[in-house]
């Protein structure tokens, strides 16, 4: 990798041998010449092109539809009323603008891993790119841990449906055994789930994509069934007034529901594994986002039409709305949808992280071990195992509450950076 690294770094800025500080500044301010890197990637030293357009669209949807739609809808609807639909449409429109930028950049630099990190490196400089990476990693590492913790709780809840098991599952298995006044909350199920997903990801991009395709299709079907089951329960009088607390509450709501769209950018990181990146990456990015906008808006219309917005629950609004109408089977479907949703956001999140580590390892910004790709599996094994371990340690020691505090700061900082 070192030879290649030297090859793609601009010699003018780094070879002068001048004072240490000016060398450092020059390094921090250099940009990435994409063409050289692209030809190195194209020479076939690692990842393989296995993903078609459908797999890319499902990758984006897999990363985006998590628990957000099942939870945030109710939280926001309590303020914005049925206008939460407009909140989702507004946030969706903002994301479409963002996605158009991603689509344009992804088709310009199609053959290199890296997504936002790569684009910042090419447009600004190495320092900015590295900062983008650190913030993305803060978000992804902590995000992966908290999603794994939520998944573990879901599994324990399913297990406790068995009468003889109910109340007998030790808390260190899934819910967390608390120490130091609740600062540390130890459990083993979340790390086990992370190990399983890491093994799948290490086996190959085709295998990981197959799991994602299956789970994502399942959750899309569930969301569609939920919408159709709900349509027959809609009472249009629940939609008026549409914005009980005015447009301001709707706009405020759109800043919260933005979270539900986070994920479509994952597609940009599969540039080196897409069969026809120049054409398929933009389709994958925009296609997955548009699918989410349609599904989310439909869910919002249905849920706010089913019950007066004041009666929507805060924790599991969608499930509660259906049990209030006596549709228990839909409630079960929603739980399965949430588990599938969490699993795919976790899977794709871990996938994206490893490709980012790979990109930085190749660029010499991280130790070269991260740049290694397994010769037969064609996956960045070291990077993948590393991101799995970090998430497993965090998920093994902290609960969602502790993790989400750190995550909010990370996500906000990341998005601010991207705006700049």
Residues of this chain that interact with ligand ARG (CB under 6 A) are 64, 66-68, 139-140, 143, 259-260, 262-263, 345, 349, 411
* Nearest-angstrom CA–CA distance, 66 and 167: 28
β-pairing, 177-179 vs 184-186, is antiparallel
Min dist CB 264 to ligand ARG, Å, is 9
Phi and psi dihedrals of 51, rounded to 5?
-95, 125
Question: Which of 106/262 has CB closer to ligand ARG?
Answer: 262
Residue 340 Cβ, how far from ligand ARG at the closest point, in Å?
A: 12
> Measured from the CB of residue 392, what is the shortest distance to ligand ARG in angstroms?
17
Of 71, 84, 3, 60, nearest to 36 by C-alpha is 3
Q: Is 143 or 364 the residue whose CB approaches ligand ARG more closely?
A: 143
Evaluate whether 357 touches 387 at the Cβ level (below 8 Å): yes
Shortest Cβ 95–ligand ARG spacing (Å): 10
Give the CA-trace dihedral at 236, 333, 341, 413, to 10 degrees: 40
| Nearest distance in Å: CB 45, ligand ARG | 28
Whole-angstrom distance, CA of residue 290 vs CA of residue 95: 10
Cβ closest to ligand ARG, residue 301 vs residue 406:
406
Q: Is 416 left (phi over 0), alpha (psi -120 to 50) or beta?
A: alpha
Q: Which is nearer to ligand ARG, 111 or 298 (CB)?
A: 298
Least Å from the CB of residue 257 to ligand ARG: 9
Whole-number Å distance between alpha carbons of 96 and 90:
10
Nearer to ligand ARG, 259 or 417 (CB): 259
Q: Which is nearer to ligand ARG, 40 or 298 (CB)?
A: 298
215 near 62, Cβ under 8 Å? yes
Q: Residue 85 or 411: which CB sits closer to ligand ARG? A: 411
Buried b (16+ CB within 10 A) or exposed e, 249-272: bbeebbebbbbbbbbbbbbbbbbb
Helix (H) or strand (E) holding 262: none
Q: In the chain, what is the greatest distance between 2 CA atoms, to the nearest angstrom? A: 75
Query: Closest approach of Cβ 349 to ligand ARG, in Å?
Result: 6
């Amino acid at each position: 990798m070192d030879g290649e690294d030297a090859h793609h770094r601009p010699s003018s800025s780094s070879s002068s041998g001048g004072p240490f500080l000016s060398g450092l500044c020059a390094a921090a301010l250099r940009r990435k010449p994409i063409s050289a890197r692209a030809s190195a990637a194209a020479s076939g030293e690692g990842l393989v092109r296995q993903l078609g357009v459908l797999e890319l669209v499902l990758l984006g949807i897999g990363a985006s539809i998590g628990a957000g739609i099942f939870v945030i809808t109710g939280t926001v609807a309590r303020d914005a009323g049925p206008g939460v639909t407009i909140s989702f449409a507004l946030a969706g429109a903002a994301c479409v603008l963002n996605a158009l930028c991603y689509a344009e950049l992804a088709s310009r630099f199609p053959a290199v891993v890296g997504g936002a990190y790569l684009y910042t490196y090419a447009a600004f400089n190495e320092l900015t790119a590295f900062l983008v990476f650190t913030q993305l990693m803060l978000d992804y590492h902590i995000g992966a841990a908290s999603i794994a913790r939520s998944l573990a709780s879901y599994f324990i809840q399913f297990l406790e449906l068995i009468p003889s098991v109910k109340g007998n599952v030790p808390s260190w298995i899934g819910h967390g055994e608390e120490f130091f006044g609740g600062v540390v909350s130890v459990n083993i199920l979340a790390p086990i789930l992370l190990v399983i997903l890491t093994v799948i990801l290490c086996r190959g991009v085709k295998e990981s994509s197959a799991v994602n395709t299956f789970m994502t299709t399942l959750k899309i079907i569930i969301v569609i069934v939920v919408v159709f089951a709900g349509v027959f329960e809609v009472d249009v009088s629940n939609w008026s007034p549409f914005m009980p607390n005015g447009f301001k509450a709707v706009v405020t709501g759109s800043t919260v529901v933005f979270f539900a769209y986070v994920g479509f950018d994952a597609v940009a990181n599969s540039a080196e594994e897409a069969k026809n990146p120049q054409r398929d990456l933009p389709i994958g990015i925009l296609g997955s986002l548009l699918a989410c906008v349609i599904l989310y808006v439909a869910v919002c219309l249905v849920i706010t039409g089913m019950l007066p917005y004041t009666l929507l629950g805060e924790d599991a609004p969608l499930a509660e709305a259906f049990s209030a109408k006596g549709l228990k089977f839909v409630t079960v479907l929603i739980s399965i949808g949430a588990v599938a949703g969490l699993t795919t956001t976790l899977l794709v999140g871990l996938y994206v992280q490893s490709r980012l580590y790979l990109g930085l390892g190749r660029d010499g910004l991280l130790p070269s071990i991260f740049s290694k790709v397994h010769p037969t599996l064609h996956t960045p094994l070291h990077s993948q195992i590393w991101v799995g371990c970090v998430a497993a340690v965090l998920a093994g020691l902290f609960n969602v509450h502790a993790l989400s505090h750190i995550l909010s700061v990370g996500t906000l900082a990341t998005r601010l950076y991207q705006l700049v």
